[in-house]
Chains A and B, each alone.
Chain A
Amino acid sequence: MLDAERLTILTESAKYDVSCSSSGSKRENTKGGLGNSSVGGICHSFTPDGRCISLLKILMSNECLYDCEYCPNRRSADVRRASVTPDEICNLTINFYMRNYIEGLFLSSAVFDTPNRTMELLCETVVKLRKVYNFNGYIHLKGIPHADDEIIMRAAKYVDRMSFNVELPSEKSLKLLAPQKTKESLLLPMKKLSTAQIYDKENKVRRGKGMVIPAGQTTQMIIGASPESDGQILRLTEALYRKIGLKRVYYSSYVPVVESPKLPTVGAGLLREHRLYQADWLIRFYGFDVGEICGEGDNLPLDFDPKCAWAMRNMHLFPVEINTAPLETLLRVPGIGAKSAYRIIQARRFGALDFDNLAKMRIILKRAKHFITCKGKFYGLESGNAVKAALLLDGIRENEQQLSMFSSPSVALSALTGEI
């Protein structure tokens, strides 16, 4: 049986992978089997760093052949090494799951022999978990670059989600910092999986009948270890969403912990990471194109969130009347989130809304009031400059909070996230 020491080593090595989502799949319980998946995802615990535990995040092994510059498990690093067997993983997953500690498994590994041998062992583990241990809970599997398609596609039929990490926002940086990985070794399997998903959809292939990754694909990249601008990063992000159909792109801000002449000596800062996530949300849920948010060579402004920044560049479009503006327009009002926009649309069908109604509906108006009218009345500041000053003040408070959240320098480690 698995001992506490190996569990610790393999968890410590896996914990910087950002993703811990268990949503997007509704796998059903099979007769005599254990588990199902909840489409909205379920968090099972929260650690003192404020992050949620949804999945058992663990590596099969942290003995890596590769020597990626930024990774704590790289071949040349002096760290404790350990591995586990497929049965040990399965047994632990089942026992944690039935005690309701976790929603499923997030399995990953260092490349310990050959990419194919590693991917095969990962695949063997998930097949065993499904077929021998009859597990119907959530499984997120990390893809190993350079492994054969045949093994990857076989594994994809048994898991809910797969992810290949693009690692760095450009091919040039990848060559410099992760020389054993190539752009093709990361993007090709993502495209193959995406094609298989489209095939399944068109041919109505069902879960359990060979359908691949019902909860889709995600990826992760390190921000600030290489010189790409936010504009470039977001263009890559948009392409990943719109062309490969990814569910999520995770960003992880670089902070120097590994000394290397190839890596910058200063970190990227977590505010930049935060702004990228905000822009990412605008692309996915608010109907923005990347071109509206950020020029190709530019970085996102740090003083304002990207929606505020866009609105202030487009003051001629505001204020909008809350009772008549279409959904697309409401979504573009700073301070009004997607949920609030939908609630306004619902509520106003029964009568015109005034400022007081919005407040009682708990729509946050601190920023929005400068950009809306209610029944023709305006409650914000008149001049563009005054609005800018008010928002700037808000921004400063928000940033202070953001920064104190991650104040310690050894956030460092988050930079290394997930590279395995």
Chain B
Amino acid sequence: MTYYIVDGTEESFYTAVFEAYNDRDCIITSERSVQLGLGFEVKDVATDGQKAARVRAKLNELDGGAEEDISLLLRSNHALKENVAFEYIKLIVAHKGAVRAMLANPVVIEMTEIRTRVFYEVHRLKGLLRFMENADGVLYAPYSPDNDITDILARHFAARFSSKKFVIHDVKRKRAALFDGNEIVITYADSADIYLSEYEAYFENLWRQYYNSVNIASRPHIKQMKGYMPVRYWKFLPEKKVK
């Protein structure tokens, strides 16, 4: 059994697919802490743009939507995400075309479940991300998502706030998307010192006030609230922060 170790980027993954394709007994993974036994071999994949491009071209020829599926899969926090993506590509090649409608196939079921989880977190955070305005009018949103989705969210907010500058900061992965009104740049970002606008506290308070008054207190249904808005997201929500 051979482990193809990739660095987490799409290019690295597609290079590994190229190299591992004819290897009948292998796993592609970005997990560094693999448990090795006898007869196990580890290959560090060196990203090769040409190899990756050939895999992408073939994939696009067979199914125009597969790259998008895989792009979402690879953002997941699922431990075997690369390998599920690899199996998915093999299935597409075997069937010479799109397979995502084969909803009873185990590979498609697994792919769909991981993809849906990423997709759903994106959707959820389009609503739950909270911006603060700093003294220069730049919007800053720290958060800590399960999956690596900062660039997707940045595209959503760039379309929405085209006249604003903003920063979306994944504090867990130490990555940030910066939007200057023109383009999005993804960068390493550790911690940030933010000087808030003088109105920030005022609007945060009004929002808390609104949140409390729009609730129908006599009709509690905490379980449903937590189902839609899991507690792990609360620490970045002004309406849920303990004051």
A-side residues, CB < 8 A to B, are 1-2, 4, 7-8, 11-12, 14-16, 29, 31-36, 38, 40, 42-54, 56-57, 92, 95-96, 98-101, 103, 343, 346-347, 349-351, 353, 357, 360-361, 405-406, 408-414
Chain B residues contacting A411 (CB-CB under 8 Å) are: 218-219
A95, B205: Cα distance in complex, Å: 12
Does any Cβ of A come within 8 Å of B129's Cβ? yes
- Indicate the member of A7, A50, A353, A408 with the most B CB atoms within 10 Å: A50
A96 and B207 within 8 A (CB): yes
Return the chain B residue nearest A95 by Cβ: B203
Within the complex, what minimum Cβ distance (angstroms) separates B66 from chain A? 17
Does any Cβ of A come within 8 Å of B106's Cβ? yes
B224 and A46 within 8 A (CB): yes
A2, B202: Cα distance in complex, Å: 10
Chain A residues contacting B222 (CB-CB under 8 Å) are: 48, 50
Does any Cβ of A come within 8 Å of B72's Cβ? no
B218 and A48 within 8 A (CB): no
Within the complex, what minimum Cβ distance (angstroms) separates B84 from chain A? 16
Instruction: Give the contacting residue for A11; candidates B130, B163, B213; CB below 8 A.
Output: B213
A216, B15: Cα distance in complex, Å: 49
Given A2-B206, A29-B160, A343-B103: A47 touches B214 (CB 8 Å cut-off):
yes
A99 and B132 within 8 A (CB): yes
A347 and B211 within 8 A (CB): no
Chain B residues contacting A32 (CB-CB under 8 Å) are: 162-163
Chain B residues contacting A33 (CB-CB under 8 Å) are: 162-163
B174-195 contacts to A (CB < 8 Å): none
B-side residues, CB < 8 A to A, are 101-106, 109, 123, 126-133, 139, 141, 157, 159-164, 199, 202-207, 209-211, 213-225, 228-229, 237, 239
B161 and A98 within 8 A (CB): yes
A45 and B109 within 8 A (CB): no
Within the complex, what minimum Cβ distance (angstroms) separates B107 from chain A? 12
A414 and B127 within 8 A (CB): no
Chain A residues contacting B225 (CB-CB under 8 Å) are: 46-50
Within the complex, what minimum Cβ distance (angstroms) separates A133 from chain B? 12
Chain A residues contacting B139 (CB-CB under 8 Å) are: 98-99
Instruction: Give the contacting residue for A7; candidates B128, B210, B217; CB below 8 A.
Output: B210
B130 and A100 within 8 A (CB): yes
Return the chain B residue nearest A92 by Cβ: B206
Chain B residues contacting A52 (CB-CB under 8 Å) are: 228
Chain B residues contacting A343 (CB-CB under 8 Å) are: 103
A95 and B210 within 8 A (CB): no
A412, B218: Cα distance in complex, Å: 9
B218 and A413 within 8 A (CB): yes
A3, B196: Cα distance in complex, Å: 21
Supply 15 A–B pairs (Cβ within 8 Å), ascending by A.
A15-B215, A29-B160, A33-B162, A34-B161, A35-B161, A38-B126, A44-B127, A49-B217, A51-B215, A56-B210, A99-B131, A99-B133, A101-B130, A353-B104, A405-B224
B127 and A29 within 8 A (CB): no
- Indicate the member of A49, A52, A410 with the most B CB atoms within 10 Å: A49
Chain B residues contacting A410 (CB-CB under 8 Å) are: 218-219
Chain B residues contacting A16 (CB-CB under 8 Å) are: 216
With A48-B225, A100-B131, A347-B101 already in contact, 13 other A-B pairs whose C-beta atoms are closer than 8 Å: A1-B202, A31-B162, A31-B163, A32-B162, A46-B229, A47-B216, A95-B203, A96-B210, A98-B131, A99-B130, A99-B139, A361-B109, A405-B219
B216 and A49 within 8 A (CB): yes
Chain B residues contacting A57 (CB-CB under 8 Å) are: 214
A100 and B224 within 8 A (CB): no
Given A49-B216, A361-B109: A100 touches B141 (CB 8 Å cut-off):
yes
B224 and A4 within 8 A (CB): no
A98, B203: Cα distance in complex, Å: 11
A50, B205: Cα distance in complex, Å: 22
Within the complex, what minimum Cβ distance (angstroms) separates A404 from chain B? 9
Within the complex, what minimum Cβ distance (angstroms) separates B139 from chain A? 7
B102 and A7 within 8 A (CB): no
A413, B228: Cα distance in complex, Å: 24
A217, B56: Cα distance in complex, Å: 45
Chain A residues contacting B164 (CB-CB under 8 Å) are: 34, 98
A47, B221: Cα distance in complex, Å: 9
Within the complex, what minimum Cβ distance (angstroms) separates B241 from chain A? 12
A350 and B105 within 8 A (CB): yes
A43 and B127 within 8 A (CB): yes
B101 and A350 within 8 A (CB): yes
A59, B150: Cα distance in complex, Å: 36
Chain A residues contacting B239 (CB-CB under 8 Å) are: 45
Within the complex, what minimum Cβ distance (angstroms) separates A365 from chain B? 14
Instruction: Give the contacting residue for B159; candidates A14, A29, A47; CB below 8 A.
Output: A29
Chain B residues contacting A15 (CB-CB under 8 Å) are: 213-216
A31, B131: Cα distance in complex, Å: 21
B203 and A12 within 8 A (CB): no
